[in-house]
Structure 1
Amino acid sequence: MSQITLVVPHLLPLPEFAPDLVRALTTPAPQTPMLATLLARTVAHRRLATVDTARALPHEQWLARALGLAPDGQPAFAAAAMRGFGLDPEHGTWFIVNPAHVQIARSHSMMADLRQLDLDEDESRALFETARALCQEIDRPLRYGDAQTWFLRADDWAHIDSATPDTVAGMDLTDFVPRGARALAYRKLQNEVQMAWHTHPVNAAREARRLPGVNAFWLWGAAQDKAPMNGKMASIGTPGWIAALAERRLDSFDQLESVLAQDGLLVVGHLAEAAIAADWGVWLQHVLNLEDKLFAPLHAALMQGRVTRLHLVASSRDGLAEFTTTAMAQRKFWCRPTLERLI
């Protein structure tokens, strides 16, 4: 028997779309009955007041607190993510660095969702080596995690105020320019890397294939090496930095049963890309898939006593809700299954 905490970012639709999306999932007949049952038959639930999402999304803030990675109230993921990639954070302050594509319009600039960059390992390695040489010139070590996740050490940049890439994706970058006493030095490095990448063979090849160029990097998540984070965690469908925090990275939901066999935390990231892009048709399709692959097996595990307690954390860009249920709560037949708590 186990107790499971399930985090599903963007399971809460944005308020202006929520009624129509819930209607689409329930008309002409309920299409997600197990999710509806898990949400309706609970021992506790709460919708948290909107938090300050200027630098991190609600689920990112929740994860940082749950894992003990918010020492000053702000998410500090870099050192823990480095360990997940087998890298030694040593001493000092490390940042997560994500290669990115920035679109420049007449009145503003905007960073694309990193999931849409489609950057492969060989391309990333080549761009990384170019950036690493420039970082070395100013005594800023750069380390490689995966194609989308690098790490930069900059001890004197510790107080740069930056946001997570999912917070920034699709938004006007003017509102998210890193600030702080050393932000000017960061922007100077950013400009030098941008110029080096502008004529890079990787970007020339990507342009020929009509793929977005890698013309910027995003720096965030400053952290110093601390004790190992709290709790056991698994992940599926998440960005590289979240996967690096997990002890287990699932390739498919076929591995779900092994996760349910012991207490732990599971982060499921399948809804993020569609929600960030406001592609609600694709979001609906993913929710239906999660009903079959995730919510139905979880409900069955509760009813069979293999899971004694399920704590579900659902979020949107600007809100978060928590639902706690048990096998006994799931037998409250008088509570009608409903998705109304998503609204």
Structure 2
Amino acid sequence: MQLSLFIPGLAWPDLHAAAEVARGLELPALSALLGRGELALTPAKFSELTAIAFGLRDIAPARRGAEDAGLAVEGRHWLLAEPGHLRIDRDRAMLADVGIMAIGQREADGLVASLNAHFAEDGLAFYATSPGRWFVSMTEPAGAHFTPLDDVVGEDVNAHLPKGGAGLKWSRFLNELQMLLYTHPINDEREARGEPAINTVWLWGDGEEGQPSSAAQTVLADHPLWQDYARRAGVTVDAAPFDFAALTEVAAGAGRVLVMLDTALAPAQYRDVYGWREALAVLEERWFAPIHQALRAGKLKELNLVCHGDAGFTATLTPGMTWKLWRRPKTLAAVYPADHSV
């Protein structure tokens, strides 16, 4: 088996603090893999690695997602309008996605109805096809560049506002809808229950993305977009396995396998240091240690370990490389560039 293992969140997102946050982590198997493999710093966004994994130029799932949800897509242009929570944190506005919230369909329908009433004259039509998946359509192309949601969660949204010719117009729309949602009775009810307000939507996903492809015969991931791309690429697809032992059962006989493990992603995005370190300890036990053993035993032909972020990297190993004992293990903290401007 040739295993490509994408672990978003493995590299701490804030480069200036990454080495300190990772200091003292006891991850001997991961350190051995990093020290004895061919290691390269490869900064990349989550969306960029997703596009590379499936042979796409851009990530643009809005139109197809709307069609799959049963909406009449012809004659309209489409964006995803992902409901979220915007939190002002010191000098930045941090975006949290629907993963931290419980949203009922009644709430989604009520909020979308108000958005439709407000933006009708602008030619925008919002749809809540499920509580956590919303769309917006328009008669003309958006004329702006939007940042994929996975690249913005936990980040300052001010650095990711719409750009391009119509960027200012869409930024104005965002301001208007946030003001509308902020004062909405449904959010008053949510806050009275101690739940985060649905006080923004994140717009993205327009354009044509083409037909996905994959060099792997099997793709295992929990991320809905990854599962959709794998199905469209015509390869075997399933949820991410519990551990490496489960992988060897699920993917028995497969030549190339692509696995995406996102257990460290949310703690990294929301800067939960304790949760992130705990997630890496679990990955060490369930994945890194048995992978290291499988490589040394020749049961795994090749490993490509990939993570995203400003300190993103790629490590490639074959069985023989694990026996190069003169190559010292490299801790995760030591991987981060000493020059924080990198």
**Band the TM-score falls in, shorter-chain normalisation:** 0.7 to 0.9
Aligned to 2:339: none
Unpaired segments ≥5 residues, structure 2: 231-236, 337-342
CA deviations on 1:10-67 (whole Å, 9 max, x unpaired) are: 2123443343344311xxxxx322211221222x32113x5xxxxxx62321221332
1:283 aligns with 2:270: no
The answer to whether the 8 Å contact 1:126/1:202 transfers is no
Unpaired segments ≥5 residues, structure 1: 26-30, 51-56
Deviation at 1:163, TM superposition (A): 1.8
1:69 aligns with 2:36: no
Alignment of 1:123-134 (within 5 A): 125-127=108-110, 129-130=112-113, 133-134=116-117
1:228 aligns with 2:220: no
Alignment of 1:262-341 (within 5 A): 262=254, 263-316=256-309, 318-339=310-331
The answer to whether the 8 Å contact 1:84/1:244 transfers is no
User: Equivalent pairs: percent with the same residue?
Assistant: 25
Aligned to 2:11: 12
Distance 2:141 2:103 in 1: 29
Distance 2:193 2:56 in 1: 40
Distance 2:246 2:71 in 1: 29
Name the aligned partner's letter for residue 248 of structure 2: E
Distance 1:128 1:258 in 2: 45
The answer to whether the 8 Å contact 2:10/2:307 transfers is yes
Aligned to 2:23: 23
Deviation at 1:6, TM superposition (A): 1.0
Distance 1:249 1:121 in 2: 25
Alignment of 1:159-308 (within 5 A): 159-183=143-167, 186-187=170-171, 190=174, 193-194=177-178, 197-198=181-182, 200=184, 202-224=186-208, 226-232=210-216, 233-236=219-222, 238=223, 240-242=224-226, 244-246=228-230, 247-250=237-240, 252-253=242-243, 255-258=246-249, 260-261=251-252, 262=254, 263-308=256-301
RMSD: 3.6
Deviation at 1:291, TM superposition (A): 0.7
Distance 1:90 1:251 in 2: 35
Please give the TM-score of this superposition, normalised by the length of structure 2. Answer: 0.76
Q: Are residues 335 and 158 of structure 1, via their aligned partners in 2, closer, same or farther at CA, if it must alter by over 3 Å?
A: same
Name the aligned partner's letter for residue 6 of structure 1: L
Aligned to 2:35: 40
Partner SS for 1:156: coil
Partner SS for 2:326: coil
Deviation at 1:210, TM superposition (A): 1.1
Distance 2:32 2:92 in 1: 43
Name the aligned partner's letter for residue 322 of structure 1: T
Deviation at 1:116, TM superposition (A): 5.7
Q: Are residues 128 and 3 of structure 1, via their aligned partners in 2, closer, same or farther at CA, if it must alter by over 3 Å?
A: farther
CA deviations on 1:106-140 (whole Å, 9 max, x unpaired) are: x9661332166313353664357526855777655
Distance 1:324 1:89 in 2: 45
Q: Are residues 117 and 12 of structure 1, via their aligned partners in 2, closer, same or farther at CA, if it must alter by over 3 Å?
A: closer
The answer to whether the 8 Å contact 1:22/1:342 transfers is no
The answer to whether the 8 Å contact 1:81/1:244 transfers is no
Count, aligned residues: 321
Please give the TM-score of this superposition, normalised by the length of structure 1. Answer: 0.76
Distance 1:99 1:304 in 2: 47
Partner SS for 2:307: strand
Aligned to 1:3: 2
